Amino acid sequence: METLTRNKRSGSAVGASAEPPAKKDLAQRIFDIMVRAPGNKPGYRPVHAKGLVCQGTFTPSREAAGLSKAAHFQVPGPVTVRFSDGAPDPSIPDNSPDASPRGMAIRFHLPGGGITDIVAISHHGFIVGTGEEFLALQEAIAATDPSKPHPWPIEAFLGTHPRALKFVQEIRVIPESFATEAFFSNDSFVFVSKNGARQAGRYQIVPVAGRRDLSDAEAKTKPADFLVQDLKTRLATGPIQFRLLAQLPNAGDATNDPSLVWPDDRKAIEVGTISITSVVADSAGTERNMVYDPTHLTDGIELCDDPLPALRAKVYSLSASYRQQGQQAPASKAEASKRSNEPMKRLTRTETGDLKEGTWEPASDTGSNLTDRPDLRAEIEVRAYHHWRADGGRHGNALNHWLQAEREIMNYTRTNEA
Ligand code: HEM
């Protein structure tokens, strides 16, 4: 989650859209505002920007197979885990109170080649319960100018959303280690057993080392990358372990609102043990290409009536495309001109849900109602952003970047869908 008092936001980072904001898809509106967060940099996630990718194994418990027929609930297998600070700034000090909440994203590699993900944060209960509220929160943050008199828009938002207020007050603690932090999916899913029994649940990921936070005084003495260093130090002496639990609701507990916490007395099933053994060889390159997504499910685990995972999937996908296009502004005019002549990378998904690059091959003419398609609009926006960056990231030429992008995407689509 991001810092809640922003001053002025930077200008539009993506290509200008001719469509008025109110008509845009909710995911697109959320992404457009998230990506302008101060501190965020092209090539990084707009939240949870600073991270470290590790690997290890997941070993299911005996009870797991009774809850779900999912393949990883039956037999042990490898996992790829990304720990992160929640802030939009990839260089945030780990001991800043603005770095929270922490993230733990887990990819299970299934027997036979598939994948499934859990994407969790260190706060029990999400900040809001719906996508519309999430957009309103982002808008309140963007509209807040600390040089203006109170009440600021963010104060008005928190004043009318007590669970969001509790969230921002509670997340400012600094953990001793990622290995002493607990993580929560907050979103609910449905587990389906071999005999067809369906059971809702939420993931909790509990550190075997116990949950421990630093005092303010201790936190102040820590170096900026202490959480990253701590993980490496611990892993040099042995694995870091977490228990994966599924908390089950009582009758009447809401499954459609991740901001409503189910009480601690609810039954929890021990699903298994996550054992982190090492940092991957190229963490920066790996995290750039990986797209964790709460809707990467597998046979035996399904979405429930919680609307957030499907919305998150769309926003994460926009974010991943943006990240892949992200590059630093060219140092010279010559480099800018070279870049705009470079073929555009087209992004497609691999079977494991990650992004792979192909190449755009622009054809010749333009003009059709293909621009009404939301999937193409998103691609045009990413392409226009590429031109904007290649042009030095200057403002004032957005329409030309947009038109050029539109021409290229339309031609590509007509050629390939004919
Ligand atoms: C409307 C609700 C939400 C929105 C719009 C949202 C948006 C985002 C975006 C844009 C990213 C970057 C994704 C990428 O580029 O790969 C992200 C990452 C992340 N989100 Fe969310 N999020 C939402 C809710 C949640 C919830 C409920 C959780 C967990 C409780 C969560 C946990 C995370 C984590 C851990 C990451 C980092 C994943 C990684 O390491 O790759 N988010 N979120």
Out of 48, 118, 260, give the residue to mutate to test ligand 1, the one with the largest number of ligand atoms within 8 Å of its CB.
48
CA distance 59 to 187: 23
- Locate 147 and state its tokens: 């040089």
Lowest mean pLDDT among 38-47, 148-157, 198-207, 381-390: 381-390
More confident: 73 or 1:
73
Lowest mean pLDDT among 84-93, 140-149, 343-352, 355-364: 355-364
Which DSSP state fits 104? E
- Please count the residues of the chain: 418
Q: What is the mean pLDDT of residues 176-180?
A: 98
Is 30's C-beta closer than 6 angstroms to any atom of ligand 1? yes
Q: Is the pLDDT of residue 224 over 80?
A: yes
Which atom of ligand 1 is least distant from the CA of 83?
Answer: 40
Q: What is the mean pLDDT of residues 240-248?
A: 98
Q: What is the mean pLDDT of residues 179-203?
A: 98
Q: Which residues have a Cβ under 8 Å from the Cβ of 161 and sit 6 or more positions away?
A: 128, 133, 137
CA of 94 to the centre of ligand 1 (A): 18
Is 134's C-beta closer than 6 angstroms to any atom of ligand 1? yes
- Which residues are registered as beta bridge partners of 108? 79, 116
CA of 210 to the centre of ligand 1 (A): 25
Which DSSP state fits 213? B
3-state SS assignment for residue 412: helix
- How far is CA 91 from each of CA 74, 95, 99, rounded to the nearest angstrom? 40, 12, 10
Do the Cβ atoms of 200 and 248 come closer than 8 Å? yes
Q: How many CA atoms lie within 13 A of 70 on its CB side?
A: 30
Q: What is the mean pLDDT of residues 145-165?
A: 96
Which atom of ligand 1 is least distant from the CA of 292?
Answer: 41
pLDDT of residue 415: 55
- Locate 203 and state its tokens: 């993931």
Percent of the chain at pLDDT > 90 equals: 68
pLDDT of residue 38: 84
Four-residue CA torsion sign, 49, 52, 54, 60? negative
Q: Which residues have a Cβ under 8 Å from the Cβ of 148 and sit 6 or more positions away?
A: none
Phi, psi of 182 (to 5 degrees): -105, 150
Is 318's C-beta closer than 6 angstroms to any atom of ligand 1? no
pLDDT of residue 36: 87
Is 316's C-beta closer than 6 angstroms to any atom of ligand 1? yes
Q: Is the pLDDT of residue 179 over 70?
A: yes
- Give CA angle at 405 (392, 341), nearest 5°: 55
pLDDT band at 324, cuts 50/70/90? confident
- Helix H segments across 85-195? 131-143, 153-160, 162-170
β-strand pairing of 77-85 with 102-109: antiparallel
Which atom of ligand 1 is least distant from the CA of 183?
Answer: 30
Which atom of ligand 1 is least distant from the CA of 134?
Answer: 1
pLDDT of residue 2: 38
Q: What is the mean pLDDT of residues 138-159?
A: 94
Residue identified by tokens 């992404």 is 31
pLDDT of residue 11: 31
pLDDT of residue 326: 67
Q: What is the DSSP string of 208-263?
A: TT---B--HHHHHTS-TTHHHHHHHHHHHHS-EEEEEEEE-PPTT--SS-TTSPPP
CATH classification number, 21-306, choose in 1.20.1530.20, 2.40.160.20, 1.10.760.10, 2.40.180.10: 2.40.180.10
Ligand 1, atom 3, lies closest to the CA of: 312
Q: Is the pLDDT of residue 6 over 80?
A: no
pLDDT of residue 374: 53
Do the Cβ atoms of 50 and 57 come closer than 8 Å? no
Q: What is the mean pLDDT of residues 89-102?
A: 96
pLDDT of residue 329: 42
Mean pLDDT across the chain, nearest whole number? 84
Residues catalogued as catalytic: 48
Q: Is the pLDDT of residue 211 over 80?
A: yes
CA of 1 to the centre of ligand 1 (A): 9
The pTM for the full model equals: 0.80
Lowest mean pLDDT among 104-113, 172-181, 380-389, 397-406: 380-389
Q: Where are the domains of the chain?
A: 21-306, 327-417
CA distance 223 to 226: 5
Q: Is the pLDDT of residue 178 over 90?
A: yes
CA of 204 to the centre of ligand 1 (A): 16
Tens digit of each residue's pLDDT (9 = 90 or more) over 349-385: 555 555 555 544 333 333 345 545 555 665 666 666 6
Tens digit of each residue's pLDDT (9 = 90 or more) over 24-33: 799 999 999 9
- The beta-strand segments (E) located in 230-378 are 240-247, 268-279, 301-303, 345-349, 355-359
